[in-house]
Amino acid sequence: MWDKILGIEKKANSLVELIQPRRSFSDVVLPEETRQQLYEALTHIEKHRLIYSLWGLGERHPTGLGLAFNFAGPPGTGKTICAEAVAYALGRKLLRVRYAELESCWAGETGKNIRTVFREAKSTDAVLFFDEADSIAARRFSNVQIGYEREANQAVNILLKELEEHEGVVVFATNMASNFDPAFERRVRTHILFRIPSVAERERIWKVQFHPSKTPIGPDVNLRELAERFEVSGGDIRTAVLKAAQIAAAEEGPDEAKRIRQKHFVLAMEQVLSAKTVMQQNAVDPFSAVLPWQDAVGSAEKRLGELDHDLNACRTELGMLTEAQTALTARAEEQGVAVSARLEELGHQVQGLREDVARSAENQSHAILAWTGEQQTVLGRLEAQENRLREHEALLSRSTLIPLPRFATLLSTLVAFLLLVGAAVSGWVMR
């Protein structure tokens, strides 16, 4: 109620700027690595419905369904243009947050403004863009002592909660990614590093700054030399081109004969670099040399950029390893199912063999018992026959008048006599 009475209630259109994107990725020169990461980010957006709706992961993970991307890198490297290009590629409008209106001196008002911004992004189905996002998502204070620190922590908490529940696309851009709260990193799907362009990329950036037919470029202009001489960002090149045009236009003579020459570009770029030096001077002594701590900060920022680049490469490699691990896991599961089926089949075969062996052993046991019974029957019969023979022999022995030994002797004598008689008769017949 008091906010309405005091007139501090802010409408959504005062907190954000709704932009109809007109620049695409063809309008910006990027390193191939950065362009590939942006392509992967757009692929994530395109496949979002497949993963969370058709594949049902949204039912198991009801929060964190949005797509948040962090564009980090030095000023003038194309982060803002790429945010507009993302919206252009998706066919949506770009909802750019106005920080001057978002932050409020009234307690709790900043958090309300953050909620309003996310509701506006949801209602317009626009890509929500936070430029210089480290100012709103800075590290929270661990030891809160004054009201400002409590208000800043509350604003970060609300931002993280809204980001967790938002189902749309959010793009953060920052020149100082190290200032982000650690919890912010977990809620951002992809971190993309925008680095200072290479020589070939800077030459292409110089070329796209001019109108193909209207800009009067002198014959002595050597863009390759400018790209090799000045290691600057695309934003610095754009500023230098406009300064060079102003310098050339301010020279005496008819406008029809004026040309933007190489000396104009060199002078303009030196002024751009000199302006950067002025901004780095000490406030007490404007003409003093760069202080040692400023060199240390520059070295630290350069090292931080290198670490961010290495971290992004590690994330990419980790993603590839995760995909490979997923494929291997799926393959292992398939092999496990096949092995389990084969083991079950072998188990059935072994059980069948055991049953066959048991039946065969039982049949053999019955056969052995039957054969044993038959043999015992035969033995019984033989024993009976043997007993009958013994009875006959005993009976024969009692019925014989001549003892067996004497009978054998007489029988042998009779046989010998018959042989002699046979021999004598055969001799007589031959005579």
CATH code at 2-195: 3.40.50.300
Q: What is the pLDDT along the chain (431 residues), one digit of tens a residue?
A: 434 433 344 445 678 888 898 888 888 888 888 888 888 878 877 776 777 677 766 666 655 556 888 888 888 888 888 999 889 988 899 999 887 777 765 656 788 888 888 999 888 889 999 888 777 776 666 665 565 677 777 888 888 888 888 888 899 888 877 777 777 777 787 888 888 888 998 999 899 889 888 999 999 999 999 999 999 888 899 999 999 999 999 988 898 889 999 999 999 999 988 887 765 554 444 444 444 545 555 566 666 666 766 776 777 778 778 878 888 888 888 888 888 888 888 888 888 888 888 888 888 888 888 888 888 888 888 888 878 888 877 777 765 544 555 666 677 777 777 777 677 666 655 55
Q: What is the pLDDT of residue 7?
A: 39
Overall size of the chain counted in residues = 431
Task: Transcribe 369-387 into DSSP letters.
Answer: HHHHHHHHHHHHHHHHHHH
Assessment of whether the complete model's pTM goes beyond 0.85: no
H helices present in 230-291, as ranges: 234-250, 262-279
Structure tokens at 180: 């982000």
Q: Determine the Cα–Cα distance for residues 151 and 149; give it in Å rounded to an integer.
A: 5
Q: Determine the Cα–Cα distance for residues 257 and 251; give it in Å rounded to an integer.
A: 11
For domain 200-294, the CATH architecture is Orthogonal Bundle (1.10)
Q: What is the pLDDT of residue 309?
A: 66
Burial class (CB in 10 A: 0-12, 13-18, 19+), 353: exposed
Q: What is the pLDDT of residue 6?
A: 36
Q: Determine the Cα–Cα distance for residues 17 and 101; give it in Å rounded to an integer.
A: 11
Calculate the alpha carbon distances from 267 to 76, 123, 204 in Å.
20, 49, 20
* CA angle, 412 then 418 then 423, to 5°: 130
DSSP reduced 3-state for 261: coil
Torsion angle (degrees, nearest 10) of CA 251, 253, 254, 259: -50
Could you tell me how far CA 280 lies from the centroid of its own chain? 42
Structure tokens at 16: 């954000």
Of 213, 175, 209, 207, nearest to 194 (Cα)? 175
- List the domain boundaries for the chain: 2-195, 200-294, 336-422
